A and B are shown apart, each in its own frame.
Chain A
Amino acid sequence: MTDNVRTVSIGEVIVSNALNDVLVAYGIGSCVAVCLYDPVAKIGGMLHALLPTAPNGNPRSGNPEPSAKYVDHGVSLLIGSLVELGAKPTRLVAQLCGGAQVLNAPGFDGWLNIGERNVKAARSALRAAGLRIKAQATGGQIGRTVRLYIADGRVTLRSLGRSEQPISIGNKVTG
């Protein structure tokens, strides 16, 4: 079966139940990729968000219009889209990647701290939705390409000079 690669762009949510689909967020830096997968229904999805929280906070407040560029809105949109496709929220397994601090230079120390804030927002949104994070590769100072294989829910990472490898299990923060 040939892989059908689908790019998840910035501020986008893609869900799928096609077993040959591979959802990919290329070269994410401070952005986060939230991957959710229902192993029974074999339905999965990825969110590629770049800002932690929408200005008005609560995504259910109805204002502003939900946007997947925000982690908090994006997680809700991702879960909603997966459920619409037939996934069960109680079976969803979460994996989280990204949130690097790529910009490290004098004068930019901790600039916006956006990567760290994105990761915190993602953890918080997943916790609020009652989802446990099975594995994560967050923080550090380098970009990563994240792949979610719909056939088996595998999430892999690739960074410069390294080949594609599975994300490690557990709540480990890696560079």
Chain B
Amino acid sequence: MHHTIEVKALKFAYPDGRQALCGVNLMVEPGRKMALVGPNGAGKSTLLLHLNGIFKGQEGSVEVAGLSMDNGNLGQIRAAVGLVFQNPDDQLFSPTVFDDVAFGPLHMGLDEHEVHHRVESALKAVQMESYINRVSHHLSIGEKKRIAIATVLSMSPEILVLDEPTAGLDPRARRNLINLLRDLDMTMLVSSHDMALVAELFPLVAIMDGGQIVAEGETAVLLADKGLLERHGLEMP
């Protein structure tokens, strides 16, 4: 099986002792788009950081795209999983937009011609072609978020993992992002507080609270259950 995310009984505690994940079980099948919702502090960002090997759980297992989380596999895992952080400032570390978007392909060892091609198509996908020579940290947050997504798209990942993609975006930027995500054809796991986004784009949803997945299933069904949402600090707009 390919393009899958499989998390089994994952437990993780931070070095200062805080137990962030208390046995997470999650499965996202190839090509499916799933939203991950839950209150602040539920462990959503922590879980997402396990998906490309930044964090390693103390118990349980994580398998993405059929690869288990060994040190030897990390290079391939990071090619397969495109992780976009919540804060675009955490994602952009190169002087210009071109350098940031080109970093992934360059690291993978692709030749110059291919790198240029990938950068152009990634920027085109997020509608930021004219920004190619701009300085990354002088852009507005909406622009930075789109460049952050481009930095990951240029690596042609099979799985896209986004942490709060619409947070801080104005309505137009948000609409552009929704259109972009709708057109992308890859397995997706997106953590968000934006329930309208979840209802519009994601057929599947998982609710996370207290370090565990407390409910999982079809969005239409789960989001109609007001009691369930309220119990876990959520509400529909």
Partners in one complex: no
